Amino acid sequence: QVQLQESGPGLVKPSETLSLTCTVSGGSVSSGSYYWSWIRQPPGKGLEWIGYIYYSGSTNYNPSLKSRVTISVDTSKNQFSLKLSSVTAADTAVYYCARNRIVIAVAGDMDVWGKGTTVTVSS
């Protein structure tokens, strides 16, 4: 059974870079059947997709965050990572990683999610 686990600092200073890692267990990030996504949820608000990566390294980002986001994959460690630069208080959120099934070469459902990690942006 595939499990995802987010990790990284819970507190980031304004203008700095938020860095998180998602470790995949019980499955392989190198599977060609999935994209690997990051999603976030500000306190008391809804879900926002940040972006995804394929094991080959190809990425797709939310247009509203594209200028600040980098998602990378490390197949040797079975992990993928998120970097969000120039953070502000508006980036305070629970950050989730999720497995994104590929359906006829297009992103399908996010069928496995991590438990989420809270990141607060504050000085």
Partner 1 sequence: QSVLTQPPSASGTPGQRVTISCSGSSSNIGSNYVYWYQQLPGTAPKLLIYRNNQRPSGVPDRFSGSKSGTSASLAISGLRSEDEADYYCAAWDDSLSGHWVFGGGTKLTVL
Interface ranges with partner 1 (CB under 8 A): 37, 39, 46-49, 60-63, 96, 103, 106-111, 113-116
**Nearer Cβ to partner 1 (14/26):** 26
Residue type, 52: Y
**Nearer Cβ to partner 1 (44/76):** 44
In a 10 Å sphere around its CB, with 0-12 CB exposed, 13-18 middle and 19+ buried, how is residue 100 labelled? buried
Nearest approach, Cβ of residue 31 and partner 1 (Å):
18
Nearest approach, Cβ of residue 51 and partner 1 (Å):
8
Q: Please give the torsion angle defined by the CA atoms of residues 57, 60, 65 and 70, in that order, rounded to the nearest 10 degrees.
A: 0
Nearest approach, Cβ of residue 123 and partner 1 (Å):
27
Tell me how far apart the alpha carbons of residues 103 and 71 are, in angstroms, rounded to a whole number. Answer: 21
